[in-house]
Structure 1
Amino acid sequence: MQCCLLDPFDPRWGRLLERCAHEFYHLPGYASLEARRMGGTASALWAEDCGREWLLPVVIRPLPVIPGAGAPALPWRDAVSPYGYPHPLTTAGETDVDTFLDEALAAMREFLRSERVLTVFARCSPLMPLAHAYSNHGYVVKHGPCFWLDLTESAEELQSQLRSRYRSYLNALRREGVTAAFIPYSKGLDDFVRLYYRTMDRVGAARWYYFERSYFEELGKLLCDALRLCVVKQGDQLLAAGLFASSGGIVQYLLSGVDERLDQPHATKLMMIFVRDWGKAAGHRILHLGGGVGGTDDALSQFKRGFTRHFSLFCTWRHVVDAEQYEVRLRAWEQFSGMAADPIEGYFPAYRKPIGKSADPEPTHRAS
């Protein structure tokens, strides 16, 4: 079994994507974009044996400095998947996938120990199955539901799944002349960013969700026509705007903002229905709305539930490469914070859990 850390320019990364169904979350360029935002190095964990391959995009970061943890001669690092759903990929066939993954993940653990990568945290796609081997080589934690629309269903079936009061809201919006449309990304980016930041301020979002404008610019360059900006307007007034990305037959709802001052709280619902109908007409298979904040079943999750009967659980995979070194970091964190470290199903890795009232945790590192 051959194991490597691939950099974004390694041709093996691109060649595997040519052989596997994947989304934009798996692109080397997306890992690089996330690495710049997270202060790490873009990479992919890769294993190969007899033509069968396994790959997981990650961002490699130095461990945070914890007083009392000591400073080893060769520092440790850890790995986290880019934000979103960069599910681990494999080219192994159905008949031998379990055996291959068992062997690949065992070999990857030894390789990562030699590379002094202490933990791996992966966000997995609720739209793809996760083999049992991941539970054998780490911990699979189930979070809240993620909601998706099956765009291969008939228009009548899709409409029947819409919550009844949503239909009333949509009818009222249309009577008032409210419309939804896609506009050129570069033309509408300033207004989108303004609305998005305003929405994050209103809901008290963590700083993690305040993507810089340059991030949106780079995302547009990376995805080109696969990234679409939808706006909802009443006359010349912008009520709401949202970003959607399509790849591999899946349309992902990314981010949105709404201007609450204009007293049209249901504008986002019209946007979702517009994108649903466009996605079906364009031949996409799934519109994925996602779930709640941090993978929880919260008010945002309930909002998304109103569009569809389909949902799947969002899972994360947590892998401790060196249990002894992990324990050393936890004890140092506990001594410094005065608190008990989270168990494996809580905030992971527990030594990265922020301390204090102003703490700003990364999404889905905590249990739902």
Structure 2
Amino acid sequence: MQYTLITIQQKKEWVDYIKRSAEYDFYHTWHYHALDESGSPILFVYQEATDFIAFPLIRRKIEDSTLSDLSSVYGYTGPVSNLKFEQLSEGFMDRFKLIFLSFLKQEEHVSVFSRLHPLFQQCLLLERFGGLYDNGKTICIDLSVPIEQQRKKYKKNIYESIKKSWKAGLRVVESKKIADISTFREIYKENMLRIGASDYYHFSLRYFLDLLGTDEFDCRLILVYDGEEAISGSIVTFTGNIAQCHLMATRTKYLNNSPAKFLIDEISLIGRKCGMRYYHLGGGLGFKEDSLFKWKSGFSDLLLNYKSWRFVINVPQYQSLVQKTGMTLCNEVDFFPLYRYPIQKL
């Protein structure tokens, strides 16, 4: 049994495997991985005849050692296959496990972390390893029902806000103009500063330009205008039958007007025109059931289980790395791998 390791330099091969997958999202694509600067993106592929399992990951060196670990890009990734996971044979998945474990040990990887996709049955494969972790829930709008039925799911205050936006004459505009992208970046940065987000979320203008400039998936900037001023916006992707609310932000001075509620409703209409089945809103900050989660859940009662995969390959090495940081394995910290936890935040 053999595997293929595709690097970010092998665009054609990466794109080919993802395009041939039965289910995938834009998070799995070559282009999205090419935007990641946290390590070296790889696509691990195990194949038998025409059937394959492909697993996009980020390889990261561990300082002051010959060791490394694997992580995933921001968003919902996990493995993909040319078949749905519920169609894969037990034997095929067992053989994938053997070859993947062999790869992890040979390459001296200490641990693997991957955020999983709430709409795919990836757990059927990864439960063989152990390390599945319940991260909470995400919210999804079902676009297959009539729009009237969708809106009946909205909480009363949300629908009232949307109707006020209609009366106020708010409008949405799709744009890929540099000036509009720059405007959205300013709005998004203002939001991140307001909530005290880490530097990771302070994306550069180049990030937004590259994200919206791809032809590998359908990515759109949709802005809400009040008169001539852009007051809210979202970067939305349409992949397969899934619309993803990747990034969303509102100018602070307009928060009380709640234009984002109007924006979500409008994006759901665009998603319908594009043939989407789901509009995935995501979860709360850090996937906690916080105020953001409660706000999103006001649009739908379709809650999805969101899991991550946290797998330790070499337990003694993992424990040693954790001890070097001064942390202990019994720390009540929801972070993996624990040896990468930013100690100054404790």
TM-score normalised by L of structure 1? 0.87
Tell me by how many angstroms 1:10 deviates: 6.1
SS at match of 2:214: helix
Q: 1:322 to 1:92 in 2, by over 3 A?
A: farther
SS at match of 1:145: strand
Aligned residue among 163, 171, 196 for 1:171? 163
Residue in structure 2 matched with residue 68 of structure 1 by the alignment: none
Q: 1:26 to 1:300 in 2, by over 3 A?
A: same
Residue in structure 2 matched with residue 356 of structure 1 by the alignment: 344
Tell me by how many angstroms 1:164 deviates: 1.1
Confirm whether residue 151 of structure 1 aligns to residue 130 of structure 2. no
1:187-198 aligned at under 5 Å gives the runs 187-198=179-190
Tell me by how many angstroms 1:221 deviates: 2.2
Tell me by how many angstroms 1:264 deviates: 4.2
* Contact 2:42/2:56 (8 A) holds in 1: yes
Give a deviation string over 1:253-297, Cα, whole Å, max 9, x none. 011221122464311000000000111122111111111112221
Letter in 2 for 1:350: L
* Contact 1:138/1:320 (8 A) holds in 2: no
Residue in structure 1 matched with residue 35 of structure 2 by the alignment: 33
Aligned residue among 97, 111, 120 for 1:105? 97
Q: 1:105 to 1:11 in 2, by over 3 A?
A: farther
Q: 1:96 to 1:255 in 2, by over 3 A?
A: closer
| Distance of 2:248 and 2:87 partners within structure 1 | 42
Aligned residue among 297, 308, 312 for 1:316? 308
| Distance of 2:15 and 2:199 partners within structure 1 | 32
* Contact 1:57/1:86 (8 A) holds in 2: yes
* Contact 1:98/1:131 (8 A) holds in 2: no
- How many residue pairs align between the two structures? 343
Q: Which runs of 5+ in 1 are unaligned?
A: 66-70, 360-368
| Distance of 1:172 and 1:11 partners within structure 2 | 48
* Contact 2:217/2:239 (8 A) holds in 1: no
Residue in structure 1 matched with residue 197 of structure 2 by the alignment: 205
Residue in structure 2 matched with residue 78 of structure 1 by the alignment: 69
What's the % identity of the aligned pairs?
24
* Contact 1:330/1:351 (8 A) holds in 2: yes
Tell me by how many angstroms 1:224 deviates: 7.2
Tell me by how many angstroms 1:225 deviates: 7.3
| Distance of 1:330 and 1:248 partners within structure 2 | 40
Give a deviation string over 1:301-344, Cα, whole Å, max 9, x none. 1111011121101110112122222122122223xxxx423579
4+ aligned runs moved over 4 Å, structure 1 = 92-96, 342-345
Letter in 2 for 1:14: V
Letter in 2 for 1:83: Y
Residue in structure 2 matched with residue 366 of structure 1 by the alignment: none
Tell me by how many angstroms 1:299 deviates: 1.0
Q: How large is the Cα RMSD of the aligned pairs?
A: 2.2
1:259-270 aligned at under 5 Å gives the runs 259-262=251-254, 264-270=256-262
| Distance of 2:292 and 2:255 partners within structure 1 | 19
| Distance of 1:284 and 1:89 partners within structure 2 | 20
Confirm whether residue 45 of structure 1 aligns to residue 33 of structure 2. no
Q: 1:60 to 1:177 in 2, by over 3 A?
A: same
Residue in structure 2 matched with residue 2 of structure 1 by the alignment: 2
Letter in 2 for 1:124: L
Q: Which runs of 5+ in 2 are unaligned?
A: none
**Is the deviation greater in 213-222 or in 92-101?**
92-101
TM-score normalised by L of structure 2? 0.92
| Distance of 1:248 and 1:345 partners within structure 2 | 36
